[in-house]
Structure 1
Amino acid sequence: MKSIDYEDFLREKVNFDRSFGFEITESEMNPILFPHQKMIVQWAVKGGRRAIFAAFGLGKSFMQIETLRLITKHKGGRALIVAPLGMRHEFIGDGAKLGVDVTFIKTAAFGLPETGMFVTNYESVRDGKIDPNLFTATSLDEASVLRDYGSKTFQTFLQLFKDIAFRFVATATPSPNRFKELSHYAAYLGIMDSGQILTRFFQRDSSSAGNLTLHPHKEREFWLWLNTWACFIQKPSDLGYSDDGYELPELDVRFHRVEIKGGEVRMDGDGQAVLFANGALGLSGAATEKRNSLSARIEKLAELVDESPDDHFVLWHTLEDERRAIKKAVPEAVEVFGALDLDEREERVVKFSNGESRILATKPSLSGSGSNFQRHCHRAIYAGIDFKFNDFIQSVHRLHRFLQKEQVRIDVILAESEESVIEILLAKWEQHKKLTSSMSDILREFGLDAGAISQALTRSMGVERVEVAGEGWQFALNDCVLETRDHMETDSVDMILSSIPFGTQYEYSPSYNDFGHTDDNLHFWEQMDYLTPNLLRVLKPGRVAAIHVKDRILFGNVMGTGNPTVEPFHAETLAHFRKHGFDYLGMHTIVTDVVRENNQTYRLGYTKMRADASSMGMGMPEYVLLFRKPQTDRSKGWGDVRVTKDIYDPTKPVSWEDDEPEAETPPNNPVDGYSLARWQIDAHAFWRSSGDRHLTPEELSQLKPEDMSRLFTAQTANSVYDYESHVKTGELLAGRKRLPSTFMSLAPASWHPDVWHDVNRMLTLNGEQSRRNLVMHTCPLQFDIVDRLITEKSNPGDLIYDPFGGLGTVPLRALKLGRRGRAAELNPVSYYDGVKYLEAESAEQDMPTLFDLIDLAQDDAA
């Protein structure tokens, strides 16, 4: 029995408050802090692991220093700030203002004092010169270095800092539209791992790995969740304080479009001369335009500098050729570049920040984060522009920040053909402003109270039950635990057939009742512990529960294994159902398309195989696990109510549905009884296709890919399998450029009874949903699987139940096969579409499927 009731379990799901710190009083804080800074410090210390996303000039360094000071005061030990090059002097100076001695270190090889606050750069930590475990509390300043998913920096820092109890990140521009960046911060802080974040909030593109967008119904929840561990503050009034002294100066952005000079020839990416510039540029096209327009852009840059001889300038560039051209055109410019010694690079940045040099030429990737140039500079010129919005916005705010006293002027120089680049940049900028404003709205609504956010989310929990029924079917909009527990009689179901959620792999609805809305597999099975005993209760003794599952890919860059591994979800399912009293009968294996899977996960690539075959797994099959509720009389094998088949009598005439021998179409069951031949096919669990003869590679190469796939499978089903011949066929087709890269066209037929190779993955209600542009139910059961299982494991007239009903596939197919159907579904969109399908079937109307569309296309072609 569960220790808490189901409703309490659901309420615990909503609790987003992940606190690792302790309470402090305002009297303990340094009195020179402003009110908004004190509130954030108090919140950060209580949370223990928090992100301070404070706009430029709001005192982010002060808040980090004070937070670390208070933690080490209470817990002892050392504190470490990790900052970009050039920022150590800012922390040392701000520490002095707070009365805290901040010491710069490059290495900890010779030991450190037992207490104190230290600052270092990212390179020292990444390269192993500093061990973060020597410190009680740490803070990453300008933590956008963790932005690139899978990068050496992110992976290194995730592992190095994972055992530190108190850790913080801070940056002024976390880019709310960069979802992966925000996910990295949460994973680094130990709030939620990246896999859980992707599952909980994002919909996936099954055709391309990594293409993520927020579920529409999860947007507000995502922003609320962010505000439980991250403070997005744009100005003090976001927290209810005065904005006096925190007004940003005006920002003047000017775009200068230049033409290629006479005598210069515009070249494309292949080195060919072109007559007209194409405004729609990709990455390679933009790079080509930069090379073509280099001299004209640098000439314009020098002209702008010469116009204002008394102003200080930052000259931003992205290419080394641009840097060299800038130095030649503007000799006074002090250069900062990657090959420069780190100490020299930092010294040049600091001197410019202090006004000791007038012109600095550098890249946004080198000096665009952390540096404070606003004290002596209000002009920036971009020698070029690219698609990297985050680098651009960061570099703009090296000047445009609180405490800047002058109007900030930004000059952007671009080729006349780069208009599309500017359009994309401006669109991202507008989106950035919108999302940042949304974060401020949430902060003003809830403050820094994670409890208030949890209460707001709790109010959206649950669903009002709706039931629609017809002749032979019943469909409920409800949590399946509540539906099975409260609305179904004991021993009332003849068969259970369902594709259960695959752990935390997907969320199917916005409700917290959703089984996919769990922290990890352990949490998922805890919720299943409330459902499965009720499934056992409602199923008749001796009858079958068929459960469709699939294992889960665990990506190496998320799990820290460096290589994708497999979570054996089917094995966990097997153990779970056995734990709750089901007998296990065995499983069917359904093979999948390895090429399509690689397009979705990038883990089975041909290149990967050649580089290191030991790191590559195999295609992931699906499984149907067969369980049985123990029969009442355990001394016998028969169920209390058997699933029986009549013997086929070949002498008995065909039973036509309309008793008219001349009818054109036979009914679904043209003969009475169950034949030996039919049993053999059912026992093998797949149907074999036939072919007249072997097809040669030359013949296959002339077919459409989809026809080639079908016929090749038929060929292998009727011949002895020859691996080398299979490979050779594929190689010959590839040589003729006839081997598709988007799906497996040469899939062999199965010869084993437990492997079904011919399940049509396109024939699902999902196909019709997609055609109508409706919400798609992820991982639907295919008609072929449902039909086989219902026919084999139930009697006509039996009740088939699916607790995760989706679009109503199981009750629908049950009706078609002369059974009754019942289901529950939590997602209202899927539910009401499923009701329409069932009502149409009850009215004996033809429902369109993807095959109907294929037939139409073939008719059109004819």
Structure 2
Amino acid sequence: MNAHADPYRAFLEAKIRLAPAIGFEVDDGEIHPLLKPHQRDIVRWAVRGGRRAIFCAFGLGKTFMQLQSVALVLAKLLALEGKAGRGLIVLPLGVRQEFRRDAATLGLHVRFIRRSDEIDGPGLYLTNYESVRDGKLDPALFDVASLDEASVLRSYGSKTFQTFLALFAGVRFRFVATATPSPNRTKELIHYAGFLGVMDTGQALTRFFQRDSESAGNLTLYPHKEREFWLWVNSWACFVQRPSDLGHSDEGYALPPLKVTWHEVETNLADAGEERDGQGILFRDGARGLMQEAKERRDTLPARIARMAQIVAAEPAAHRIIWHDLEDERRAIEKALPGVRSVYGTQDLDAREQTIVDFSDGKFRLLAAKPVIAGSGCNFQRHCHKAVFVGVSHKFNDFIQAIHRIARFLQAHTVEIDIIHAESEREVVRDLMAKWAEHDRLVATMSDIIREYGLDPLNFTAELTRAIGVERIEATGEGWQVANNDCVLEARGMADNSVDLIVTSIPFSNHYEYTPSYNDFGHTDNDGHFFAQMDHLTPELIRILKPGRLACIHVKDRILFGNVTGLGFPTVNPFHADCIAHYRRHGLAYLGLIYVDTDVVRENNQTYRLGYTEMRKDGTKMGVGSPEFVLLFRKVQSDRSKGYADDPVQKRIEDYSLARWQLDAHARWRSSGNRLLTPQELMAIDPKLLPKVFREASAGRIYDFETHLRIGEALEARQRLPSIYMALMPGTNREDVWCDVNRMLTLNTEQAAKGREQHVCPLQFDIVDRCIARWSEPGELVFDPFGGLFTVPMRALLAGRRGRAAELNPGYFLDGVKVLEATQRKMATATLFDLGEAEGWLTAEGAAA
């Protein structure tokens, strides 16, 4: 069936979205003839896209390309729309002279400004990052903008970085250019995509990155998404390392040899200090964290400065950059090298910039600077090919940028880099080298992609299209049938009114992606897009469900982070309410919901939204913990004159007591005069057992908030209150609130024990068991369209039902089949106890004997 005949296939193909092109077509004749072939290709590509990133190696001519791209957009605006527009290029300090020089070469007139009131009509303007950061210049006054060496924004901190990018949201055409976009910090590339308007940063993080269930901030690129991620990046960014990447000659673009010498100075390893409790430390450990790193550098400063002085004295006539990070280091450098000139943060901006320009022009020999000040954008290769780092740090981007101020194309000499570090900083050196190797690996990956596909994203659309579809694989056993398949397609092949109960945990919109396939429901842009795909599944589920029978849908509300929403504080997306609306819209009758309590302390460890410290700063930021829900829907029965299902779930009186019916039918509170356990009694209990003991104890007694609070504070005062989970979670006797679900009782426990891949959000056995027992009968079919590790069919088998499921992820499918086969073998193996019970000879007395 082709896409035109199958709306679902068409929906999946529409997911293939590369960066849109909103710019203008440009002929070679419109580009200045001085631009080299690779520069012309990139300018043509950038102007056509309108919002693009130029990630080209040092010395390939980013200045020319930016000037020409911005100028061509302005020219097109005038010619095609009759608008005399304004263009802005934002620069690091010390780069203004380079742009003025290259602009004059291209016959362009540029003006440098620092404030909005300096704008004088249409044209091309330059400014520094500081002017935009400090609110002196409003980017919204321009039609096209380009950020030169945009990676410098990282030095301002993530908050300023986000704010800065938001300032350009109203600029129609946007470019970024840098030689070091840090591909080994893939999350940083997401920020560039957000700035360019290619994809919302939160959406991109969800699509390509997996979340650590223990820590909200730990995001890593999905291994199975790496290829797709780099193809997507290549649709809006060009990583070009040499002209030959685009099919041109590399003549004149040979990188100079790089000689790196590491100098280790001794550290007094025995001078290790004391622990927080006063206990002496036997040996000094390696620096860990920025504060320890800075302290270590101060303690070893004399030895490092002495080695620097030796290096400089060996060639007194050589021009050198002395790179440092601390003000104490700068003052020590100035004292040891009387002829050195420094640039630093408190200097007048014009004076600082002039010093950088003078060194670039060879007017003095020694420049001392921090990489965050002079490490980006400056071209020092004309008169300098030697540099000394008086220390090391974990900040790889600052390090690599600083090196390439002199190690770049058009450098005529071997570049000599001397790096001084203390003996105790070996771990920092290893980390720096590992990041360097990873940087080179990922840059090579991007070069391979651009060599294979060029600058036209249409060239690799076909490869991405191949991620649609799955070759169905079926596995069966006694009482179960599962398939590795798209759940929509699997449900299509099932007979009408053939399923007795649906129990499933649907994807929580685009919160997770489970496979690299476009069939994945998590591979959606937002809630609206997710429910649009659900619109293809839900009618099929209703068709195969027997009239009058239930669909039990497990969901959870989603946490929206403030840096994504722009609100500055986390909020809650009431996803369960959207699900209720979705299923009701398709005709299912809503019967209510079951609350499944979760641990608020663990939730905070995962989302950082209920933090104790933040609560003390401002209590208005904190809401409440988010439970999970089981939504109950019923397919309307055929005979609407009666409320019974076409095939009712009947209970025998000997199996279903009046007392149980009352608990099932009524969410009633039960109270008694029994007291809660005292702090002294609770302190005698293992903290790991506290949650269960307290929940059970509090469920059957009169609840008193103040008493609960005093118990917690008493435990806290004695350091017996855990901080990684909630030990004193109150119990309840409401039947629609499940507070005793064992959060760890999932198939992930077995997966972890066997070293297999764990499911991102496994479904607890307790939830499945209760649904199956309450809304199905023995021998009936229970179906899960999002099978995962096949918890539902496995628990159905154990409950005497039949199980069926679909799962798109082939790894989960194979592991789930093993679970079902093991369950089937276990059920088929009769133990002595089973046989004894069957024959009636195993009695209590016999067992005791």
TM-score (norm 2): 0.93
CA–CA separation in structure 1 for the residues paired with 2:31 and 2:311: 47
Question: Deviations 1:563-590 (Å, cap 9, x if unpaired)?
Answer: 1111111111111111111111111111
Rounded to whole Å, the distance in 2 between the matches of 1:462 and 1:704 is 51
Question: Does residue 743 in structure 1 map to residue 725 in structure 2?
Answer: yes
Aligned 1:747-762 pairs, distance under 5 A: 747-762=729-744
Paired residue total: 820
| Match for residue 803 of structure 1 among 785, 792, 803 | 785
Distance 2:13 2:378 in 1: 45
Task: Please give the alpha-carbon distance, in whole angstroms, between the structure 2 residues aligned to 1:780 and 1:610.
Answer: 34
Give runs of aligned pairs for residues 232-311 of structure 1, distance below 5 A.
232-260=239-267, 276-279=283-286, 281-311=288-318
Contact kept? 2:671, 2:702, Cα under 8 Å: no
Q: Which runs of 4+ in 1 moved over 6 A?
A: 268-275, 685-693
Q: C-alpha distance in 1, partners of 2:187/2:18?
A: 19
Secondary structure of the residue that 2:420 maps to in structure 1? Answer: strand
**Paired residue for 1:780, among 736, 745, 762?**
762
* Contact kept in structure 2, 1:54 and 1:171, CA below 8 Å: yes
**Alpha-carbon contact 1:265-1:292 (below 8 Å) kept:** no
The superposition leaves residues 374-398 of structure 1 with CA deviations (integer Å, 9 ceiling, x where unpaired) of 1111111111111111111111111
Q: Aligned to 2:572, which of 541, 566, 590?
A: 566
How has the CA–CA distance of structure 1 residues 688 and 319 changed in structure 2, closer, same or farther, with 3 Å as cutoff? farther
Correspondences of 1:121-160 after superposition (within 5 Å): 121-147=128-154, 151-160=158-167
> Percent same amino acid at aligned positions?
59
Structure-2 separation of matches of 1:66 and 1:80: 12
Distance 1:417 1:402, change over 3 A: same
Between the aligned partners of 2:791 and 2:155, the Cα distance in structure 1 is: 41
- Mapped pair 1:515 → 2:515: no
Q: Of 71, 94, 97, which residue of structure 2 is paired with 1:89? A: 97
**Cα deviation code 1:713-748 (max 9, x no counterpart):** 112112211212222211211111111111111111
- Tell me what 1:100 maps to: 108
- Partner residue of 2:842? none
Shift of 1:633: 2.2
User: CA shift at 1:273, angstroms?
Assistant: 8.2
Residue of structure 2 equivalent to 1:499: 505
Measure, in 2, the Cα distance between the counterparts of 1:846 and 1:735.
54
Checking the alignment, whether the CA contact within 8 Å between 2:675 and 2:702 is kept in structure 1 is no
- Alpha carbons of 1:274 and 1:298: their partners in 2 closer, same or farther (altered >3 Å)? farther
Change (3 A) 1:313 1:685: farther
Aligned pairs (5 A) from 1:437-452: 437-452=444-459
Give, in angstroms, the shift of residue 786 of structure 1: 0.6
Match of 1:620 among 619, 626, 634: 626
Aligned position for 1:68? 70
Counterpart of 2:220 in 1: which secondary structure?
strand
Hey, what does 1:358 align to over in structure 2?
A: 365
Distance 1:756 1:730 in 2: 22
| SS, match of residue 783 in structure 2 | strand
Supply the distance in 2 between the matched residues of 1:563 and 1:719 (Cα, whole angstroms).
37
Distance of aligned partners of 1:698 and 1:756 in 2 relative to their CA distance in 1, 3 Å threshold: same
**Residue 536, structure 1, aligned to residue 580, structure 2:** no
* SS of aligned partner of 2:235: helix
Residue 136 of structure 1 deviates from its aligned partner by 0.9
Aligned twin of 1:698: 680
Q: CA contact under 8 A between 1:83 and 1:119: conserved in structure 2? A: yes
Q: From 770, 782, 806, give the equivalent of 1:824.
A: 806
Q: Distance in 1 between matches of 2:749 and 2:662?
A: 31
User: Cα 1:695–1:134, aligned 2, differ >3 Å: closer, same or farther?
Assistant: same
Find out whether 1:54 has 2:59 as its counterpart: no
Instruction: Give the whole-Å Cα distance in 1 for the aligned partners of 2:339 and 2:157.
Output: 39
1:845–1:396 Cα change, 3 Å? farther
CA distance in 2, matches of 1:129, 1:583: 58
1:167 matched to which residue of 2? 174
Shift of 1:681: 3.5
Residue by residue over 1:818-861, the C-alpha shift from the partner in whole angstroms, topping out at 9 and shown as x without a partner, is: 211111100011111111111222223599xxxxxxxxxxxxxx
Q: How does 1:403-482 map to 2 (within 5 A)?
A: 403-482=410-489
Contact 1:251 1:408 in 2 (8 A): yes
**CA–CA distance in structure 2, aligned partners of residues 418 and 20 of structure 1:** 49
- Cα pair distance change 1:589/1:531, threshold 3 Å: same
What letter matches 2:502 in structure 1?
Answer: I
1:272, distance to aligned residue in structure 2 (A) = 9.5
Deviation track 1:617-660 (CA, whole Å, cap 9, x = no partner) reads 11111111111111122232222221221223xxxxxxxxxxxx
Give the deviation of 1:478 after TM superposition.
0.5
Q: 1:259 offset after TM fit, Å?
A: 2.2
1:38 and 2:40 matched: yes
Alignment-mate amino acid for residue 789 of structure 1: C
Which one of 198, 204, 207 corresponds to residue 205 of structure 2? Answer: 198
By how many angstroms is 1:14 displaced? 2.1
Q: Is the 8 A contact 1:261 1:296 kept in 2?
A: no
Cα distance in 2 for residues equivalent to 1:529 and 1:372: 56
Deviation at 1:694, TM superposition (A): 3.5
Letter of the structure 1 residue corresponding to residue 712 of structure 2: G
The range that moved more, 600-609 or 681-690, is 681-690
**Displacement of 1:15 after TM fit?**
3.1
Alignment-derived partner of residue 727 in structure 1 = 709
> Aligned equivalents of 1:805 and 1:310: distance in 2?
72
Please report how far the alpha carbon of residue 691 of structure 1 lies from its aligned counterpart in structure 2 after TM superposition. 13
Matched, 1:325 2:332: yes
Matches within 5 A, 1:821-860: 821-845=803-827
Label 1:501 to 1:275 Cα distance change in 2 as closer, same or farther (>3 A). closer
Letter paired with 2:36: F
Q: Residues 113-164 of structure 1: CA distance to partner in whole angstroms, max 9, x if unpaired?
A: 1x20001111111221111111111111111134479723222223211122
Q: What CA distance in whole angstroms lies between the structure 2 residues aligned with 1:342 and 1:280? A: 34
Q: How much has 1:266 moved relative to structure 2? A: 6.3
In 1, distance between residues paired with 2:662 and 2:613?
Answer: 42
Q: For 1:20-44, what per-residue CA distance to the aligned partner results, in whole angstroms no more than 9, with x for missing partners?
A: 2232212211111111011111111
Aligned 8 A contact 2:671 2:701 in 1: no
Deviations 1:33-78, CA, capped at 9 Å, x for gaps: 1110111111111111111000000001111111111111111411
- Checking the alignment, whether the CA contact within 8 Å between 1:145 and 1:154 is kept in structure 2 is no
Alignment check: 8 A CA contact 2:152 2:372 kept: no
Q: In structure 2, what is the equivalent of residue 850 of structure 1? A: none
Structure 2 residue 229 is matched with structure 1 residue 222: yes
Query: Quick one: which amino acid aligns to residue 706 of structure 1?
Result: K
Partner of 2:794: 812
CA separation of 1:162 and 1:37: change in aligned 2, threshold 3 A: same
Q: CA deviation at 1:426?
A: 1.0
| Change in 2 beyond 3 A, CA 1:453/1:149 | farther
Residue deviations 1:462-495 (CA, integer Å, cap 9, x gap):
110011112221101100011111x111111111
Cα distance between partner residues in 2 of 1:759 and 1:690: 24
Q: Deviations over 1:162-210 (max 9, x none)?
A: 1222101111011111012111111111111122222211111111111
Deviation at 1:269, TM superposition (A): 8.6
Q: Is the 8 A contact 1:298 1:329 kept in 2?
A: yes
Paired with 1:286 and 1:564, the residues of 2 have a C-alpha distance of: 32
Aligned to 1:27: 29
Alpha-carbon contact 1:550-1:622 (below 8 Å) kept: yes
Cα RMSD over matched residues?
A: 2.4
What is the SS of the residue equivalent to 2:14? helix
Partner of 1:654: none
Note if contact 2:267-2:424 (Cα within 8 Å) is conserved in structure 1.
Answer: no
| DSSP-derived class of the 1:517 partner | coil
Letter in 2 for 1:382: F
In structure 1, the residue corresponding to 2:124 is in which secondary structure?
strand
- Partner in structure 1 of residue 383 of structure 2: 376
